[in-house]
Amino acid sequence: MIVIKGIAASPGISIGKAYVVEDEDIVVERVEIARDRVKEEVRRFKHAQKATLRDLDAAEQKVLKVLGKQHAKLIDAHRLILKDTLITQDVSKRIVGERVNAEFALSEALDQVNRQFEKMDDEFFRERRHDLFDVGKRLLLHLMKRQKRSLAEIEHECVLIVRNLLPSDTLGLKDTKILGFATDLGGKTSHTAILAQSLEIPAVVGLSDVSRRVKTGDLVVLDGEQGMVIINPGPETIAKYEKVQQRAVAEERSLESLKGLPAVTQDGRAFRLEANLDSPEELKNLVALQVDGIGLFRTEYLFLNRTEVPGEEEQAKAYSAVVKAMDGREVIIRTADIGGDRLSHIGIDGPKNETNPFMGLRGVRLFLRHLDLFKTQLRAILRASLKGKVRVMIPMVSSVGEVIATKKLLDQARAELAAEGLAFKEELELGIMVEIPSAAIHLDAFLPHVDFISIGTNDLIQYTLAVDRINEHVTHLYDPYHPAVVRLLDSVVQTAHKRGKWVGVCGEMTSDPRAVPLLVGLGVDAMSVSPRMFLRVKQAVRSLKHEPLKRLIAKAVNCSESDEVRRLLEQSQ
Ligand code: PEP
Ligand code: MG
């Protein structure tokens, strides 16, 4: 039995025979082109471009059908690559200048860009090179008149093992017999990982040499929770994982009965249990889950994967649809938190080439530089507030001045809308995300200016512990149970409650049932959970007692190490 550790890219467990797909070797030869044939060669390349564009249109239809609009934007990104000067100009220039065949000119151009990508420190951008290869490969196959390998042709259930899986291949996995996949390359933030999660296909990536170590037909266990692949597991291991699988299925079924029940502890402490919404496609699911509201509506999706700024009408329509669907339950719309790893291409003078993007021009800092953008979003939110119960929340707040500036802008937006005769609700509660230590430590100064706060544990932990949340080299230091984090959270909740302000939590910590006792003990008022974990978290809340956990927090804030905090929590179960 061999165990290989990688990066957990999409949760779930699959057990089955491995199917190893050899890297599709495309050998590109250099062929000299006679001077009088050069024009024809350029034309041949243009035809391949058109054929690739048609491929993308077809792929888009498929994505729209299978995954919805949000993911179809991936195809837009591929279209942009196809329009890049690398493809539209450089390749033709090489054909003409070097008098070489189109295949060779293209592969040389791709190699050059690959070398540039490889030098990038930012994992997110490094991973984007797979999108470039995806498009490049399509072009090459058209030039060579070859068919793209189809994974749909695999006729038996198997765990796919491959050096690298491109996003378009991943999309093709939807209606296949593939139980899960493991790759040598790839990171957690790649489109491949994101798509695998949406398709609910277990996946482990970044396994270095799994495609060489596994042979087709080997029995493998793919553990998408722990990020590992077990080759030729013994009967005991198989039995253990089969039990985990069965338990997961049974659990899913039993959780259904919790829909509509309140999130209240055994000793009667009630919590508002809400869900995070990252894209409108998930809205239907939230309604079906009967959530108490949307505690964090991430609006960044409107600003990413596009080159022009979303207008007020588009935004007002998008927000109104969400607010309407929630039918009177609260929707906390967060103004866009662009920057960090969420880089937009909307053409604003924004964060480019920052050495430390997470500490850079991000969230409210960026919007206070671009007041026009900020005001447009505030106006759209004000207009959507007519449709139900809306609150607005500002991300990445580090000083009181930012809140005051935002309020001033909000007043301006109100005055403008009124002057233009556009309807909106006067009352709009304003809150801040507490996700930067300065806001947490100095919270009493912020509270007179806001109606509520929501703790963004993802960033608060990152900034408190100085651990980049997407850097795989320091993930072991990213620790929600660090006593400093617990102490900070406790102080935030106490300070806000003393001033009569309610506290929500919307980071991933709410979606980890092991961390829920901590949040219950801290006595937060609301938790906003990722939809996949919503019912599981409700189950956890309903199984706990608030009073003993409150006493546990008093001990946890005096622990010297996170292991002690963990032990306390385990003992409390
Ligand atoms: C957070 O930081 O905890 C949070 C919810 O915001 P995001 O993950 O969008 O940065
Ligand atoms: Mg955040």
Q: Tell me the CATH number at 221.
A: 3.50.30.10
Is 169 inside a domain boundary?
Answer: yes
**Structure confidence by residue, pLDDT tens digits, 456-488:** 999 999 999 998 876 667 778 889 999 999 999
Global confidence as pTM: 0.70
CA of 459 to the centre of ligand 2 (A): 5
Residue 29 belongs to some domain of the structure: no
Q: Ligand 1 pocket, 456 CB below 6 A?
A: yes
Nearest CA-CA partner of 74 in 135, 11, 163: 135
pLDDT confidence of residue 513:
85
Q: How far is the CA of 37 from the centre of ligand 1 (A)?
A: 56
What Cα–Cα distance (Å) separates residue 311 from each residue in 220, 350, 375, 387?
50, 18, 11, 19
Q: Is residue 87 domain-resident?
A: yes
Q: Any alpha helices (H) in 119-234, and if so which ranges? A: 123-127, 129-143, 167-171, 191-199, 210-213
Q: How many domains does the chain have?
A: 3
- 400: domain range? 258-571
C-alpha span between 472 and 188 (Å, rounded): 9
Q: Are 413 and 381 in contact (CB under 8 A)?
A: no
Q: Are residues 245 and 97 in the same domain?
A: no
* Dist. CA 507 → ligand 2 center (Å): 7
- Give the model confidence (pLDDT) of 155-204 as tens digits: 899 999 998 887 677 877 877 899 999 998 877 656 677 678 767 899 99
User: Does the CB atom of residue 340 touch ligand 1 within 6 A?
Assistant: no
The strand ranges marked E within 323-445 are: 330-334, 390-394, 429-434
Residue 140 scores a pLDDT above 70: yes
Strand order in the sheet with 219-223: 2-5, 228-231, 219-223, 13-21, 158-162, 178-183, 203-205, 7-10
pLDDT in tens, 388-422: 999 999 999 999 999 999 999 999 999 999 999 99
Residue 30 in domain:
no
CA dist., res. 542 & res. 130, Å (int): 44
Residue 461 CA: which ligand is closest? 1
Whether 418 and 317 map to the same domain: the answer is: yes
Single residue among 119, 143, 167 that ends a domain in this structure? 143
CATH of the domain at 95: 1.10.274.10
- According to the model, what pLDDT value does residue 8 have? 86
For residues 428 and 449, state if they share a domain.
yes
Residues 414 and 527 occupy one common structural domain:
yes
Q: Reply yes or no on whether the pLDDT at 562 is more than 80.
A: yes
Query: What is the model's pLDDT at position 449?
Result: 98
Which ligand 1 atom minimizes the distance to the CA of 298? 9
Residue 337 Cβ contacting ligand 1 at under 6 Å: yes
Claim to verify: residue 400 and residue 305 sit in the same structural domain: yes
Residues 122 and 188 grouped into a single domain: no
398 Cα to the center of ligand 2, angstroms: 12
Whether residue 555 is contained in a domain is answered as: yes
Residue 439 CB less than 6 A away from ligand 1: no
513-519: average pLDDT = 93
Clarify whether residues 416 and 539 are in a common domain: yes
At 472, the amino acid letter reads E
- Total count of residues recorded for the chain: 573
pLDDT higher than 70, residue 24: no
- Same domain? For 317 and 413 the reply is yes
Neighbours of 147 (CB within 10 A): 7
Instruction: Report which protein residue has its CA nearest ligand 1's atom 4.
Output: 456
Question: What is the share, in percent, of the chain residues with pLDDT greater than 90?
Answer: 61
- Residues 179, 272 within the same domain: no
Q: Is 528 within a domain?
A: yes
Instruction: Give the residue with greater pLDDT, 507 vs 548.
Output: 548
pLDDT at site 121? 72
| Whole-number pLDDT of residue 546 | 97
- Kindly state whether residues 324 and 348 are assigned to the same domain: yes
Ligand 1 pocket residue status of 507, Cβ below 6 Å: yes
Q: Active-site residue 559, yes or no?
A: no
Q: Kindly tell me if the per-residue pLDDT of 263 is higher than 70.
A: yes
- What confidence score (pLDDT) does residue 189 get? 55
Point out the catalytic residue in the list 191, 482, 546, 559: 191
Our answer to whether residue 497 is catalytic in this structure is no
Q: Which has the higher per-residue pLDDT, 121 or 499?
A: 499
Region 312-329 average pLDDT: 97
- 450, 431 Cβ separation under 8 angstroms: yes
Question: 540: domain CATH number?
Answer: 3.20.20.60
Q: Is 458 touching ligand 1 by the criterion CB < 6 Å?
A: yes
Confidence of residue 325 (pLDDT cuts 50, 70, 90): very high
Q: Provide the 10 A C-beta neighbour count for residue 354.
A: 16
Indicate whether 189 belongs to any domain: yes
Task: Determine the distance separating the centroid of ligand 2 and the alpha carbon of 440, expressed in angstroms.
Answer: 13
Print the SS3 string covering 347-363: CCCCCCCCCCHHHCCCC
Same domain membership, residue 474 and residue 371: yes
Q: Are residues 474 and 383 in the same domain?
A: yes
Per mean pLDDT, which range of 34-48, 169-183, 202-216, 542-556 is the poorest?
A: 169-183
Name 13's bridge partners: 223
Mean pLDDT of 135-139: 87
Give the pairing type, strands 13-21 and 219-223: antiparallel
Residue 551 within any structural domain of the chain: yes
Question: Of residues 150 and 335, which shows the higher confidence score?
Answer: 335
Q: Closest Cα to atom 9, ligand 1: which residue?
A: 298
Q: Is 298 touching ligand 1 by the criterion CB < 6 Å?
A: yes
Domain end (from 143, 165, 182): 143
Measured from the CB, is residue 296 less than 6 Å from ligand 1? yes
3-state SS, one letter per residue, for 439-497: HHHCHHHHHHHCCEEEECHHHHHHHHHCCCCCCCCCHHHCCCCCHHHHHHHHHHHHHHH
294, 458, 524: residue to mutate for ligand 1 pocket, most atoms within 8 A of CB: 458
pLDDT (0 to 100) of residue 294: 97
Q: Which atom of ligand 1 is nearest to the CA of 300?
A: 9
Place of tokens 């890049």: 84
Ligand 1: residue whose CA is nearest its atom 1: 456
Q: Is the pLDDT of residue 349 over 80?
A: no
Q: Residue 166 has what pLDDT?
A: 77
Mean pLDDT score of the chain: 89
Mean pLDDT of 488-503: 98
Task: Find the catalytic residue in 78, 158, 482, 506.
Answer: 506
Cα 81 to Cα 341: distance, rounded to the nearest angstrom:
20
AA identity, residue 491: S
Q: How far is the CA of 278 from the centre of ligand 1 (A)?
A: 11
Which ligand 1 atom sits closest to the C-alpha of 506?
Answer: 5
Convert the pLDDT of each residue in 105-114 to its tens digit: 998 888 888 7
Burial 538-572 (b: 16+ CB within 10 A, else e): bbbbbebbbeebeebbeebbebeebeebbebbeeb
Instruction: Report, as an integer, the average pLDDT of 259-274.
Output: 98
Report CA(456)–ligand 1 centroid distance (Å).
Answer: 5
Side-chain-facing half-sphere of 205: CA atoms under 13 Å: 24
Q: What is the pLDDT of residue 224?
A: 93
Domain boundary among 111, 143, 175: 143
